Amino acid sequence: MSDLTFPLIGDKAPEFTATTTHGPINFPGDYKGKWVVLFSHPADFTPVCTTEFMAFQKRKAQFNELNAELIGLSIDQVFSHIKWVDWIKDNMDMEIEFPIIADHGAIAEKFGMIHPGQGSSTVRAVFIIDPKGIIRLILYYPAEIGRNMEEILRVIKAFQVAEDKKVAMPANWPINDFLGDKLIVPPAKSVKDAKARLADTSINCYDWWFCTRDQ
């Protein structure tokens, strides 16, 4: 058993102030009204982490189009972050344009980013936080596996469509093997609603509990 604890999906994200490569930040105050992808990496100047930061940066404009901001974090000094970012720019011809938190462990502990059995380095954690400061998704990856940025983008898009259209998303959305690009209508909550749903020509039902609608 470990002593690892972290906030859960649906919880308010912990508040913090931090030193970053872009100066001090106050979370969530500085990001009010924004989606946030807060992600931790084990250490600067490591190969997998370098590929991840480059992958995030390559898609930064796509995140910004979704009203989402990126924030990196590890237990390294800000000087290390700055030198690493410089190395990436000089050697990989890519400028990292989002902030990286220089944590001393306090923020990582609040979010459960440190595995007690893996030393003092942060794990590969991802917290997707909505504009109200609520944690909507938590992902953890082992040290040897880099993250899939397309999945993180997909999830933010899915949340936004789900909230806008009051629907749920099938597996592999936006294209499901069985349903194609259709969206799932949330289950009926009463006998009356269930019967009415089967008579609703604007949706397609396999049964009262399994109905879909077009995009």
Catalytic residues, by residue number, are 49
Exposure string over 3-28, b if 16+ CB within 10 A, otherwise e: eeebbeeeeebbebebbbbeeebebb
CA-closest candidate to residue 53, choices 90, 20, 101, 85: 85
Q: Report H helices in the chain.
A: 47-58, 60-65, 78-92, 106-111, 149-165, 191-199
Helices 149-165/47-58 angle, 10° precision: 40
The residues, any chain, with a CB within 8 Å of residue 96's CB and separated by 6 or more, are 21, 53, 57, 85, 88, 89
Distance (Å, rounded) from C-alpha 85 to C-alpha 165?
Answer: 40
Residue 189: exposed, middle, or buried by beta-carbon count in 10 A (0-12, 13-18, 19+)? exposed
